[in-house]
Structure 1
Amino acid sequence: MSAEHEQHPLFLPLVFVGGLIFGFGLGFSHMAQPEVVLSFLQFTDFGLLFVMFGAAIVTGITFFGVKQFRSTAPLTGAVYGRRLKSLDRNVVIGGGIFGVGWGLSGICPGAAYASLGIGNFPILYGIVGMFIGAYIQGFWRSTRAESTAPTTAAD
């Protein structure tokens, strides 16, 4: 990290507090319970829709409102800006795989950790599966990048 973008000493503690608030909100709204999420995916309980709508409103207000008052992030000094990701084959396939995993387990990664907080210890199988899947994808991507890297005369 460059000297001009040094993190404020409160950056990590505030990230931790934000995670606690997020986890508490997931538990309070019952979204850390796979049964509730699966009910939403089966169109029998639309409570998740209201939780997601509320989160979208808060995020939208923050995303657009903060830029009116500040041009840089208060704790990192980084300039606010959009990070655009093109809609390519990897995004579509990865999103599909994520969606299938979410539908099978009834829980997304953030809610999986919150689910541990409410005593859902069998979710550890899902968390371990997420880590193994991420490792396999990273290994596959690095292997693919090595095989497509151009060779030079020095190789």
Structure 2
Amino acid sequence: MNGAFFRLAATLVSGLVFGFGLSLSGMLDPARVRAFLDIAGNWNPSLAFVLGGAVSVSALGVLLTRRLKRPLFDESFHLPDNQVIDRRLIVGSAIFGIGWGLVGLCPGPALASLSLGLPATMLFVAAMVAGMLIHDRLVARRSSRMGGGAGAETRLSQPH
């Protein structure tokens, strides 16, 4: 068996664990997410434990990757080359946060929720994909006019 098989298997297992975790934690329930975000109203703090767990696992993952020369199933880490906090990042983050607060779904839980077959989730995912395609077309057009590769990802080895 070659490396591509193991990469695919690791991706599948990671996605299944992530989706199961989202389901188990209640992140697939938009009403529960909106209740967590409603700190001035009928606040439900239960998702704070989910957030704390996610940050803890992510922090351990970052610490582990700093000790590795390369990932287990790839030649190098894939890190974005742009580390500038600019207007585009702030506006995009605000749009993401507003959408998450209004709808109660973000991309991961939305994709996991497709398995429930709810029309509202299907509409959300279709609108999300359309928005991504429109954004990519606009950024690609703007980038080609400016002669650069906005948002490009480079293959970097992570420093030790």
Question: When the two structures are superposed, what TM-score results if normalisation uses the length of structure 1?
Answer: 0.82
* Cα distance between partner residues in 1 of 2:141 and 2:98: 25
Give the structure with the larger strand fraction: 2
Note if contact 1:7-1:77 (Cα within 8 Å) is conserved in structure 2.
Answer: no
Equivalent residues in 2 for 1:6-155, closer than 5 Å: 7-43=3-39, 44-68=43-67, 70-78=68-76, 85-149=83-147
Give me the TM-score of the superposition, normalised by structure 2. Answer: 0.79
The whole-number CA distance in structure 2 between the counterparts of 1:53 and 1:122 is: 28
User: How many angstroms apart in 2 are the aligned matches of 1:17 and 1:88?
Assistant: 35
Structure number with greater Rg is 1
| Structure 1 runs, 4 residues or longer, greater than 6 Å off | none
Unaligned runs of at least 5 residues, structure 1: 1-5, 151-155
Q: CA RMSD in A?
A: 2.4
Q: How many residues align?
A: 144
- Percent identity reads 31
User: 1:147 & 1:66 partners in 2: Cα distance?
Assistant: 37
Change (3 A) 1:14 1:36: same
Q: Which moved more, 1:41-50 or 1:24-33?
A: 41-50
Structure 2 alignment gaps of length 5 or more: 149-160
